[in-house]
Amino acid sequence: MKGVLLLTIFFSFSVWAQAQREVSVIVTAEGYYPKSLTVFQGESVKFYVTSTVEAPDCFLLQGHEVFLAANKGKITEAQTKFEHTGVYNYYCPSSKHQGKVTVLKKFVPQAAPARKMASEDPAVWVPKEYE
């Protein structure tokens, strides 16, 4: 399992300045690692998939036309964009491994409304002696 963690760390680094997220998924005897991922709506994600077991496995991503083979010692990759929020499953029908990608709505802060100074408002009260 230590080798799996090192491999995950090695492939999980992504450059934040890039317009896409990079994610590694490792197939083990216990299933996928990680079992769940979280991304934001509109993000492009590049998946790197490999395996630690001899038996061939796969990675299918629901609703995104991604199908990758997962073989020990080889890395396969695919890229997709998550346009809609929701939960998308990834799985392999032969091994029954399952995982999920949760797509969240990205919070975009809006500019604060412009504030007016009291002196700019013509409806400001003025004493009678100054009229």
Q: Concatenated DSSP letters for 39-106?
A: EETT-EEEEEEEESSSS-EEEEETTTTEEEEE-BT--EEEEEE--S-EEEEEE-TTT--EEEEEEEPP
Across the chain, what does the average pLDDT equal?
Answer: 79
For residue 104, what pLDDT is reported? Answer: 93
For residue 121, what pLDDT is reported? Answer: 61
Q: Which of 88, 85, 67 is nearest to 76 (CA)?
A: 67
For residue 46, what pLDDT is reported? Answer: 93
For residue 14, what pLDDT is reported? Answer: 40
| CATH of the domain spanning 2-104, picked from 1.20.1530.20, 2.60.40.420, 2.40.30.10, 3.40.50.1820 | 2.60.40.420
* CA distances to 85, 103, 111 from 53, in Å: 33, 29, 51
- Is the pLDDT at 19 greater than 90? The verdict is no
**16: confidence class by pLDDT, cuts 50, 70, 90:** very low
